[in-house]
Amino acid sequence: MKKWLLCLSISVFTLTMAGCSAENSVILKKTDIISHLVDQKKWKQATSKVNDLKDAYQDQKLKLQFLGDEQEYESISREMNKLIPALEEKDVLEVKKGLATINGYVESIYMDN
């Protein structure tokens, strides 16, 4: 029974970690979409996509916790929380800075592993 449980645990961990690369990151794809929407001045759509980004972060959080350190994955959350107010103010520079910071943390997490 213990061997079976160990095998199951290893299988789940392996499946969870499959596709762990910055290129496959849903978070990076979502930040790219938000960036394009901001370039087009589509503020409401960008705000909606930030909520999608937060959902993607929650879905990927366990993987990020395994791969990164606490400062990195918690910083992603803090930066995401700054995006909505920046979008409400239509502050392109602040939104772009936040998205770049998120991308930097995500890439750092994946590249260090």
Residue 16 belongs to some domain of the structure: no
Residue 11 belongs to some domain of the structure: no
Residue 74 belongs to some domain of the structure: yes
Domain range for residue 55? 21-111
- For residues 99-103, average pLDDT: 96
Residue 67 belongs to some domain of the structure: yes
Task: Identify the residue with better confidence: 25 or 103.
Answer: 103
pTM of the model: 0.78
Nearest to 45 by CA among 25, 30, 67: 30
36, pLDDT greater than 70 = yes
CATH of the domain at 101: 1.20.120.290
- For residues 34-60, average pLDDT: 96
Q: How many CB atoms lie within 10 A of CB 17?
A: 13
Residue 9 belongs to some domain of the structure: no
Question: For the chain, give me the number of helices (H) and strands (E)?
Answer: 5, 0
